[in-house]
């Protein structure tokens, strides 16, 4: 464990981009956690008299169509966006790891059946699948999370399947079985911990992707409902004001969304380096 | 020769084994569409005085008055006959809609992929040559930037800058300026058809129209392609035969291009295949933003209208393309690297 | 110099081959009208179930009807006029003194696009089709007492009689709507089958009309190009259509449509977002004709059968708690006619419909009504709108939620895909929502009969009130203008008392066009009648 930590510190020191990404992601999480206490205005309180004002010392990021403070909304949105992304990814990660490792371990018919199912999911145009699911289940936040989780699921299942398949008949697994460990315990105590680090890299990359995905859903009207602040819907609404010169409505949410996704992506890359030193010979 | 026939056998086997997945996609989409709370009949009975009777009439025409299992059997039977149903949104048979719109989507996606590869491969190579260097980090950073912007934002911004402000780009209203005479349809790919007709003016018009949407899409996929190029270049550059070539004192450029790159491109090809099929399904928003008459925006409109047939047809088409692309990649792989077919 | 031609010249610089073609191109461009819209034409036969508004708009140009509506000035803007009906395929018409017979005399020079002369036989077949075939037409014609093929009688090759069971003010206007198109019956019949005697399948993708334009290309969901029918002379005073060529293109992004018209690439667009229209108007480079849609109403609606909205005091409470001014300003950018803040003295201010209601934001009054309803602490409910209207409904619902929270009503906002919204409305499952209605023939009784009676989709409030039903039906056949207006006053008073739903405004139709485009008239179907337009 300490070796990994030392390795991490070493990688971070040599890799400024990853270090910055780490710092950025950490900052984002802090902002999200403290959001209600740092916003200067109530993010959903309207004030039509002050609608569509450009950035000023009072409203750092201007005001929107209803006169709400864009900066406050951005900060509050960090909370929701991170929550959506994190829960979606956790969900697919957990389900994927469990399903994948059980099937990979069992092998045979179950393995083949799940493989088929994953093929079905993979063959879907995923964004359209997400749209259809949100449309079918209703655009509540839970459903956006579920839809995002489901379209990520096949990658995790596949990944876990492949990793477990490789290790299924490894000596130490045989040994554990010989010692009288049940199948469940072999999976939980030996196989899962072994494949988790490799999957963790995927998590970080998917976090960014989940945010983008939610934004896309908002753009076609299947995102979170008003007046909840969320980056995607703010960008989507703001984009419609581009040509009338209200640039702040799209620029600030766009930047927020972009930097969050960028952090997670670079972080994912960095994690790969830390967890799998062989990747960067 | 035996390697080739082995590849063919493998291909046939894979094709057969993907049929259940296709069937699964069909049934799943069918059920998903029925779960949608919207009733297409009510939506389309939009006349100012449409009453219960009109709604029932549309339901009858669409076969929605029958129980769902019966609808499913009828649907599958129809598909067997090559009939994908009729779209209420456009009023046309889904098959002819898809046939007309697919080339538009393919042309856009292929151009975007080509653009992305042209950028990603050199970037990946440069990054792999000096791993950990400033160049490597810069490449990684800029590629990641592309993935961070939702395509609808980058699309709208590009339109705003290049069409609205600068006036360089043509108006974002589809595949070709409305005032250009279209070439006779041969392939449906405008660039090919214009070239065949020898109409270079038209060709330029169509190409200009393609630039912005293709660029928007390419931005989004440069990152994975560059990343895989880099990784695979790194692996080959570290392998024995490169070391041997270096030891032999062969020119550096020759080593990189002729030996390393040729071997490193195989994994890139696989990823490009996957990226292609994902892009084709995921370019909904790009098509919307650029009024591109492709299959994805067609499916989106249908979905919001709960118009079952086009969505089902679209998903089936995408799944089939997914299977075909994978198969093609497999076969190419088998030909390029005979060891694969043995394994 | 328009930027379109400017850009062609730029292109020419790089493409010498185009040099010779440019003047010709500029010429045809001036004679071409390019219209962009967010939706698409989905059938060439407007009577098909599922027709879009764009399909209605197109059919006015490809087909003729017996008569068409005139136009009038309303607050300085041209709008359609239901009360002046002029001949289109009919050269003239006479209404019998008892009002039960209308005799149409056809033009003798009118020909279909294929050159066949238009005869009463075609007219009879077409009208028979409108009332007999399973289509959207029958339900509309019914509102003008036209229900049966026996009502149409051929007198001779150019004279046709329509008989009515009783005089109906809306019979003639109904014949001017988009449904009773006159079809080339010989051509259509040659494509009819035993199962499809009215050639509905064929006419969906083909036209057989005599209208001002013929179809050059039709790409469903993408674009339609029309070419002028040079023989057509059915405009006002025997005029031809103004443009030689029409292009209607689908551009889904509203902001892009605004860019297109601003840069001069599109000539006219009518479905912009309110903020874009306002911005373009402020820039002053384009002609912006903003007409309140005087035949349309946006409602905040409740299901009157569903608790707590079955309690009239709850409905009243909400009527006084809505932040009208803020909603009008923020959601609509003030582009429309408000239907609140009405000035009523001893009863309704007028006998027409809709009129501004005497309500305004007053939370104290709202709280009092809520207390009267026995719910002083409020309640929770959901408020729905459809994705298609998100542009205005989203800010509106956010404001509504905020304001209702002040009187203790907790609102959960639900954004539904359009098809789901219409299904839920049809099944009467939505408690509280916003929707709009439009009446092609906006007479007072038409509104009350179609939007407040019966278990139909359009009765948003699910109102079932015997008194209202009886008065609306009686008003329909009331020939005396004074008595009709009296019915109107009583109905408006009853509407306010029952408060089945809250009319909030009539949004404007913002037609944005190049300054060279002339003749735009706001039409009953809220589309452009391309035949009105010409270039200066």
Provide the pLDDT for residue B319: 87
**Residues of chain B with C-beta less than 8 angstroms from the C-beta of C456:** 51-52
> DSSP letter string over C310-357?
TSHHHHHHHHHHS-HHHHHHHHHTT-EEE-SS---SSS-S-SSSS---
Provide the pLDDT for residue B44: 72
> Is the confidence at residue C4, as pLDDT, over 60?
no
Note the pLDDT tens digit of each residue in C355-395. Answer: 999 999 999 999 999 999 999 999 999 999 998 888 899 99
Return the sign of the alpha-carbon dihedral for residues C386, C392, C398, C404: negative
- Return d(Cα C361, Cα B105) in angstroms, integer: 51
User: Would you place residue B46 in the very low, low, confident or very high pLDDT band (cuts 50, 70, 90)?
Assistant: low
**Which of A125, A140, A266 best probes binding to B when mutated, by most B CB atoms within 10 angstroms?**
A125
| pLDDT-wise least confident of B118-132, C5-19, C90-104, C343-357 | C5-19
Note the pLDDT tens digit of each residue in B142-179. Answer: 888 888 888 888 898 899 899 999 999 998 888 888 88
Note the pLDDT tens digit of each residue in C245-267. Answer: 999 999 988 889 999 999 999 99
Of A152 and B89, the structure prediction assigns the larger pLDDT to A152
**Residues C276, A245: C-beta atoms closer than 8 Å:** no
Q: Compare all CA atoms of chain B with the CA of A215 and give the residue at the minimum distance.
A: B150
Note the pLDDT tens digit of each residue in C409-455. Answer: 999 999 888 888 888 898 899 999 999 999 999 899 999 999 999 88
Note the pLDDT tens digit of each residue in C178-200. Answer: 999 999 999 999 999 998 999 99
Neighbours of B67 (CB within 10 A): 8
User: Would you place residue C238 in the very low, low, confident or very high pLDDT band (cuts 50, 70, 90)?
Assistant: confident
What tokens appear for A18 in the block?
């990853």
**Residues C50, B298: C-beta atoms closer than 8 Å:** no
Provide the pLDDT for residue C22: 44
Return the sign of the alpha-carbon dihedral for residues C498, C501, C502, C506: negative
Note the pLDDT tens digit of each residue in C22-56. Answer: 444 555 789 999 999 998 888 899 998 778 889 99
What tokens appear for C323 in the block?
């932040």
| Segments of chain A assigned E as strands | none
Provide the pLDDT for residue A276: 60
**Residues of chain C with C-beta less than 8 angstroms from the C-beta of A219:** none
Neighbours of C72 (CB within 10 A): 14
> Is the confidence at residue B68, as pLDDT, over 60?
yes
Phi, psi dihedral angles at C247 (to 5 degrees): -125, 125
Provide the pLDDT for residue C3: 46
- Return d(Cα C226, Cα C216) in angstroms, integer: 5
Judge residue B343's burial from the number of C-beta atoms within 10 Å of its C-beta, 0-12 exposed, 13-18 middle, 19 or more buried. Answer: exposed
**Residues B49, C136: C-beta atoms closer than 8 Å:** yes
- Return d(Cα A198, Cα A188) in angstroms, integer: 16
Residue A243 has its nearest CB partner, among C259, C413, C416, at: C259
C88-126 in b/e form (b: 16+ CB < 10 A) is bbbeebebeeeebbbbbbbbeebebbeeeebbbebbbbb
Summarize the confidence of residues B183-191 as an average pLDDT.
88
Neighbours of B240 (CB within 10 A): 7
Summarize the confidence of residues C125-148 as an average pLDDT.
92
The low-confidence residues of chain A, meaning pLDDT below 50, are 278-281
Provide the pLDDT for residue A2: 67
Quick check: helix, strand or coil at residue A189?
helix
Residue A66 has its nearest CB partner, among C398, C414, C417, at: C398
- Return d(Cα C63, Cα C80) in angstroms, integer: 18
- Tell me the HSE value of B312 on the side-chain side, using a 13 A CA sphere: 28
Provide the pLDDT for residue C17: 38
Provide the pLDDT for residue A158: 83
Note the pLDDT tens digit of each residue in C505-530. Answer: 999 999 999 999 999 999 999 999 99
Residues ≥6 apart with Cβ < 8 Å to C205 = B91, B92, C43, C44, C218
Note the pLDDT tens digit of each residue in B118-147. Answer: 999 999 999 888 887 888 888 888 888 888
**Residues of chain A with C-beta less than 8 angstroms from the C-beta of C421:** none
Chains that touch C (3 or more CB pairs under 8 A): A, B
**Contact A47/C at CB under 8 A:** no
Pick from C342, C306, C296, C366: nearest CA to C492: C342
**Residues B304, A269: C-beta atoms closer than 8 Å:** no
Provide the pLDDT for residue B338: 57
Pick from A113, A48, A40, A112: nearest CA to A74: A40
> Is the confidence at residue C2, as pLDDT, over 60?
no
The mean pLDDT of chain B is 84
Provide the pLDDT for residue C26: 52
Q: How far is C45 from chain B (nearest CA, A)?
A: 10
Quick check: helix, strand or coil at residue C505?
strand
Phi, psi dihedral angles at C98 (to 5 degrees): -80, 0
Contact assessment for residue A225 and residue C414, using Cβ atoms and an 8 Å cutoff: yes
Using CB atoms and an 8 Å cut-off, which of residues 273-292 of chain B contact chain C?
288-289, 291
Note the pLDDT tens digit of each residue in C472-505. Answer: 999 988 889 999 999 999 999 999 999 999 999 9
> Is the confidence at residue C293, as pLDDT, over 70?
yes
User: Would you place residue B49 in the very low, low, confident or very high pLDDT band (cuts 50, 70, 90)?
Assistant: low
Secondary structure string (H, E, C) spanning B306-319: CCHHHHHHHHHHHH
Beta-sheet pairing, C336-338 with C90-95:
unpaired
Q: Return the bridge partners of C71, or none.
A: C80
Note the pLDDT tens digit of each residue in C222-233. Answer: 899 999 999 999
- Return d(Cα B317, Cα B95) in angstroms, integer: 10
What is the DSSP secondary structure assignment for residue B162, as one 8-state letter? Answer: I
**Residues of chain C with C-beta less than 8 angstroms from the C-beta of B61:** 49
Provide the pLDDT for residue C233: 92
- B114-B116-B117 Cα angle (round to 5): 65
């Amino acid at each position: 464990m300490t070796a990994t930590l030392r390795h991490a510190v070493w990688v971070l020191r040599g890799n400024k981009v990853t270090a910055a990404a780490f710092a950025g992601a950490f900052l984002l999480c802090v902002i999200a956690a403290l959001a209600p206490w740092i916003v200067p205005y109530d993010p959903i309180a309207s004030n039509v008299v002050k609608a569509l004002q450009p950035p000023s010392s009072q409203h750092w990021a201007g005001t929107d169509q209803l006169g709400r403070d864009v900066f406050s909304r951005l900060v509050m949105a960090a909370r929701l966006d991170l929550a959506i992304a994190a829960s979606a990814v956790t969900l697919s990660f957990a389900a994927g790891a469990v399903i994948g490792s059980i099937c990979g371990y069992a092998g045979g018919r179950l393995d083949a059946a799940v493989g088929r199912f994953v093929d079905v999911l993979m063959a879907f145009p995923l964004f359209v699948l997400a749209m259809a699911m949100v449309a079918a289940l209703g655009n509540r936040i839970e459903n956006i999370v579920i839809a995002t989780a489901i379209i990520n699921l096949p990658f995790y299942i596949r990944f876990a399947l492949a990793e477990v398949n490789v290790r299924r008949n490894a000596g130490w697994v045989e040994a554990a079985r010989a010692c009288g460990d049940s199948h469940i315990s072999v999976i939980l105590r030996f196989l899962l911990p072994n494949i988790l680090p490799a999957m963790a890299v995927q998590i970080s990359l998917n976090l960014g992707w989940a945010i983008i995905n939610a934004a896309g859903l908002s753009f076609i009207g299947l995102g979170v409902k008003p007046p909840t602040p969320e980056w995607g819907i703010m960008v989507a609404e703001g984009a419609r004001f581009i040509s009338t010169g209200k640039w702040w409505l799209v620029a600030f949410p766009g930047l927020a969304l972009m930097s969050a996704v960028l952090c997670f992506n670079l972080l994912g890359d960095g994690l790969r380096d830390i967890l799998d030193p062989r990747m960067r010979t | 020769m035996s390697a080739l026939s082995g590849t063919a056998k493998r291909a046939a086997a894979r094709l057969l084994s993907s049929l259940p997945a296709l069937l699964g996609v069909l049934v799943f989409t069918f059920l998903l569409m029925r779960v949608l709370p919207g009733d297409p009949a009510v939506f389309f009975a939009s006349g100012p005085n449409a009453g219960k009777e009109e709604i029932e009439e549309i339901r009858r025409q669409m076969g929605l008055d029958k129980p769902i299992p019966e609808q499913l059997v009828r649907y599958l039977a129809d598909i067997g006959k090559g009939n994908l149903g009729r779209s209420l949104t456009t009023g046309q048979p889904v098959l002819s809609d898809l046939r007309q719109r697919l080339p538009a989507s393919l042309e856009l996606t292929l151009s975007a992929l080509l653009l992305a590869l042209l950028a990603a491969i050199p970037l990946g190579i440069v990054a792999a040559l000096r791993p950990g260097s400033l160049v490597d980090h810069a490449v990684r950073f800029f590629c990641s930037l592309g993935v961070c912007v939702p395509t609808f934002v980058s699309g709208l911004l590009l339109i705003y800058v290049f069409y609205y402000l600068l006036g360089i780009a043509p108006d974002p209203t589809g595949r070709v300026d409305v005032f250009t005479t279209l070439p006779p349809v041969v392939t449906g790919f405008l660039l090919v058809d214009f070239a065949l007709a020898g109409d270079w003016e038209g060709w330029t018009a169509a190409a200009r129209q393609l630039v912005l949407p293709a660029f928007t899409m390419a931005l989004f996929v440069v990152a994975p392609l560059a990343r895989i190029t880099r990784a695979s270049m790194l692996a080959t550059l570290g392998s024995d035969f490169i070391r041997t070539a270096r030891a032999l004192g062969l020119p550096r450029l020759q080593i990189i291009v002729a030996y390393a790159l040729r071997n490193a491109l195989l994994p890139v090809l696989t990823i490009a295949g996957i990226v292609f099929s994902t892009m084709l399904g995921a370019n909904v928003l790009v098509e919307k933003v650029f009024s591109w008459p492709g299959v994805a925006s067609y499916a989106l409109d249908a979905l919001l209208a709960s118009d079952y047939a086009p969505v089902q047809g679209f998903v089936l088409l995408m799944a089939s393309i997914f299977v075909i692309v994978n198969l093609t990649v497999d076969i190419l792989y088998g030909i390029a690297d005979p060891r694969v077919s043995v394994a | 110099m328009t930027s379109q031609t400017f850009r062609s010249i730029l292109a020419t610089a790089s493409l010498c081959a185009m040099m010779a073609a440019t003047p010709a191109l500029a010429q045809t461009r001036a004679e071409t009208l390019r219209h962009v819209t967010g939706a698409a034409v989905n059938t060439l036969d407007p009577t098909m179930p599922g027709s879009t508004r764009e399909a209605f708009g197109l059919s006015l140009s490809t087909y003729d009807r017996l008569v068409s509506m005139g136009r009038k000035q309303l607050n300085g803007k041209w709008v359609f006029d239901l009360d002046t009906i002029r001949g289109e395929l009919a050269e003239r018409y006479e209404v019998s003194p008892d009002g039960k017979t209308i005799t149409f005399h056809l033009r003798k020079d009118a020909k279909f696009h294929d050159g066949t002369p238009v005869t009463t036989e075609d007219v009879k077949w077409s009208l028979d089709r409108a009332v007999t075939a399973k289509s959207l037409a029958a339900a509309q014609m019914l509102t003008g007492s036209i229900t049966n093929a026996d009502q149409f009688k051929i007198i001779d090759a150019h004279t046709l009689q329509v008989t009515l069971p009783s005089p109906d003010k809306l019979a003639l206007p109904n014949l001017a709507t988009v449904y009773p198109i006159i079809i080339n019956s010989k051509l259509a019949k040659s494509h009819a089958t035993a199962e499809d005697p009215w050639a509905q399948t064929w006419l969906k993708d083909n036209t057989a009309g005599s209208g001002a334009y013929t179809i050059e290309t039709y790409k469903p969901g993408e674009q339609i190009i029309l070419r002028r029918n040079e023989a057509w002379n059915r405009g006002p005073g025997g005029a031809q259509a103004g443009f030689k060529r029409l292009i209607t293109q689908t551009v889904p992004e509203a902001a892009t449509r605004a860019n297109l018209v601003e840069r001069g690439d599109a000539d006219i667009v009518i479905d912009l977002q309110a903020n874009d229209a306002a911005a373009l108007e402020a820039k002053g480079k384009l002609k912006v004709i903003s007409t309140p849609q005087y035949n349309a109403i946006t409602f905040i609606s409740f299901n009157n059968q569903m608790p707590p909205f079955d309690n009239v005091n709850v409905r009243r409470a909400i009527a006084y708690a809505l932040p009208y001014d803020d909603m009008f300003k923020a959601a609509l950018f003030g582009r429309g006619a408000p239907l609140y803040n009405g000035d009523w003295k001893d009863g309704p201010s007028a006998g027409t419909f809709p009129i501004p209601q005497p309500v305004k934001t007053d939370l104290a009054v709202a709280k009092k009504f809520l207390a009267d309803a026995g719910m002083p602490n409020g309640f929770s409910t959901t408020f729905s709108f459809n994705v298609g209207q998100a542009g205005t409904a989203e800010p509106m619902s956010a404001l509504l939620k905020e304001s209702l929270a002040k009187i203790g009503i907790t609102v959960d906002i639900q954004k539904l895909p359009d098809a789901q919204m219409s299904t839920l409305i049809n099944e009467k499952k939505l408690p509280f929502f916003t929707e709009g209605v439009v009446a092609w023939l906006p007479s007072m009784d038409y509104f009350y009969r179609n939007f407040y009676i019966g278990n139909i989709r359009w009765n948003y409030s699910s109102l079932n009130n015997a008194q209202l039903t009886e008065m609306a039906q009686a008003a329909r056949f009331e020939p005396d203008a004074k008595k009709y207006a009296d019915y109107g006053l009583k109905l408006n008073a009853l509407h306010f008392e029952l408060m089945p739903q809250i009319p909030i405004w009539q949004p404007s139709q913002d037609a944005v066009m190049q300054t060279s485009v002339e003749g735009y008239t706001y039409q009953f179907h809220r589309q452009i009648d391309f035949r009105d337009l010409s270039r200066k």
